Chain A
C-alpha cells in the first residue's frame, strides 16, 4: 500500500542529545514537509522540500535540520539547540496537480526527559 511511514512512533531523549526522526514515502511525491503539533497550537511548519537535494526553512526551523538525499526520504533531526523539543511531529508529502492536499504520516511523539 502507498503511504507515509514515520518512525519511531514514540521516542524519549535526554536533554542535550540529538535525535533523528525518519520519514519515508512510496507515493512518488516530489514535495515533503515536517510539521510540529503542540496542544492548542495547530500545525506549524518546520522544514519543507520541493525536490531532491533542496529544502527550505518553515516558520519554526530553529533547532532542527533536515536532508533530502532521496525522493522517498526526508529525515528530521531535532538538535540540542531546540529549546522545547517535546512535541508531536508530523511528516507529510504532496504530489503535483490541482488537488494540493497533503498526505500525512502517523506522527512521532518526542519526549525530552
Chain B
C-alpha cells in the first residue's frame, strides 16, 4: 500500500516553461514533506521541504505547494532548464525526524 504516490512516471517540458511535478499522500499523520532530485548513478540531493503548518515554500526557481485537505503537494520549477532533467522524488514523514517514505519518482526531461 503506497503511502506516497507520484502518478506520473515521466514529464517532458520545454526549456523556459514551468514544470509541475505532483505528489499525493494517504497518511494524514504526515506533517513534513520534501522533494529530492536524482541523477543516474548518483545519490539524491535535497531540493526543498515544507511542513504542514505552511501551504507554500519558495527557494529560487523552486516552489512547493501543499494542499492538506486534498493530501496533495506539487513542485513548481520556473523557468525550467535542461540541467533540471532528472528524477524527482517526493517524500513524507511524521515529524521532521521521522523516517522518510518516498514516492516512486517522476522523470523530468527539459528539452532545449
Contacts and interface: CB of A to CB of B under 8 A. Distances in A.
Nearest to A40: B104
Q: How large is the interface on B (under 10, 10 to 19, 20 to 34, 35 or more residues)?
A: 20 to 34
Contacts, number: 58
B32 interface: yes
Interface in B65-97: 89, 93, 95-97
A104 to B, nearest CB: 3
Nearest to B34: A101
- Top-3 shortest CB links A-B: A104-B43, A100-B96, A42-B104
Contacts of A58: 99
Nearest to A109: B41
B32 A43 contact: no
B66 to A, nearest CB: 15
Interface of B: 6, 9, 32, 34, 36, 41-46, 49, 89, 93, 95-100, 102-105
Given A58-B99, A98-B96, A42 B44 contact: no
Interface SS, A side: strand
A48 interface: yes
A104 B32 contact: no
B26 to A, nearest CB: 15
B25 to A, nearest CB: 13
Nearest to B40: A88
Contacts of B36: 104
B108 to A, nearest CB: 15
Most buried by A among B32, B43, B46, B105: B43
A107 B41 contact: yes
Interface in A1-57: 4, 6, 31, 33, 35, 40-45, 48
